Amino acid sequence: MAEIEKLTRELVAIPSHADETAAGDYIEQWLREETTGRIERDSHGNVIGRRGSGEQSLALVGHHDVVPPEENQVAGDSYRVERESERLHGRGAADMKGAVAAAMCAFRNSAVDDGELVFASFVAEETGGEGARGAIADGFAPTYAVVGEGSTGYSAPGVTDVAIAHKGRRASTVTAEGVAAHASRPEEGTNAIYRATDAVDAIRELPTPGTTVLGHEMQGSVVVTEIEGGSAWNVVPEQCSITVDERTVPGERVPLTELTSRPGVSVQVDQDLEPMACRDRAFAELVLAAAAEKQCDTPHHVVKPHATDAGWLAAAGTACVVCGPAEPGEAHTADESVSLPVLERCYGIYRAVADRFETLTVR
């Protein structure tokens, strides 16, 4: 579908790592000109379109911000966009302006008989989901959502799968306080690095929670990724901090607060991105059936290791799945690209789900 390639090209060319306004303007204008939907630009900068009405609603969800580009991905005041064979290269092609373009076309072209079809492109996904959280706080609450983040190549190369769960991420700073002293008389101080390394040993022993989502196991993890402390080679350090990366599962967290029972140790949570679990089997099966129809290979329900805006939506009560063209390792790279045939496939999946969600029974 040439139109999806054209839309993706034009969206990718618009810089949106520091300011998403221009990309949002483009999406909003296209929706107003090309669709009969009720189009809104909310106070956060999100672009939301609605067609039809009814008891149930399905949202096709994406985001139009990107991570900062590499030098080779910039051409003057625009991002560079190049086609090689059947792949489109450029910052944001995979994550996730290609999926946004496919969802825009599906939103316009799908039949809406007895239910509400919603398109949503959020801002600030890459910096913590501020756009999605703002929309939810304002009342954004679809019954179902297909989030177009990457789900291709998980069960097998080239297969567009359906993610029914993903992990979240909690980032914490553990700080150990001590008492400074000259290193020649260490007994006069309290070594903060020793306290911190004792905390590291304790973190390695903490239980990591797991859960099962529609028969698929999810296991969390916790890893110390940075350590910083000390002021000079001859000074017993009075402070040391460590960074902890925790991959979370729905409803559970590693009990990091246990560390605060140790002398001089405190814990600060710096970021907590929600995990996602789809508990509505009928919706998950409907999307999987649509994915199977649109490709020769057999897709599967899978679990993603990365957090997306689906986590915020699921926490607010929306039944979510993730289904999109990006493959593992494509996003956030100097050679980011997306498969054009897979973009067309995702467009077909989104349309099929939009045409059928009204048949589901609300649970």
Give how many domains the chain has, as a whole number.
Answer: 2
Residues 294 and 258 in one domain: no
What is the structure's pLDDT at 252? 85
Residues 297 and 346 in one domain: yes
The range of the structural domain enclosing residue 185 comes to 168-273
Residues 233 and 100 in one domain: no
Residues 292 and 347 in one domain: yes
What is the structure's pLDDT at 353? 97
pTM of the model: 0.92
Residues 136 and 29 in one domain: yes
What is the structure's pLDDT at 254? 93
What is the structure's pLDDT at 74? 93
Residues 281 and 261 in one domain: no
Residues 99 and 213 in one domain: no
- Beta bridge mates, 171: 245, 271
Taking the chain (363 residues) in runs of 10, the rounded mean pLDDT of each run is 92 96 98 96 98 94 96 92 94 96 97 92 95 97 97 97 97 97 96 97 94 93 96 96 96 92 97 95 97 97 95 96 94 94 98 92 64
- Helix ranges (H only) for the chain are 2-13, 21-34, 98-109, 130-137, 192-205, 281-293, 310-315, 340-356
Residues 291 and 147 in one domain: yes
Secondary structure of residue 184 in the 3-state scheme:
coil
Residue 123: CATH number of its domain: 3.40.630.10
Contact of 306 with 344, CB cutoff 8 Å: no
Residues 132 and 231 in one domain: no
Secondary structure of residue 341 in the 3-state scheme:
helix
CB atoms within 10 A of CB 143: 22
Residues 158 and 183 in one domain: no
Separation between Cα atoms, residue 227 and residue 225, nearest integer Å: 7
Residues 307 and 175 in one domain: no
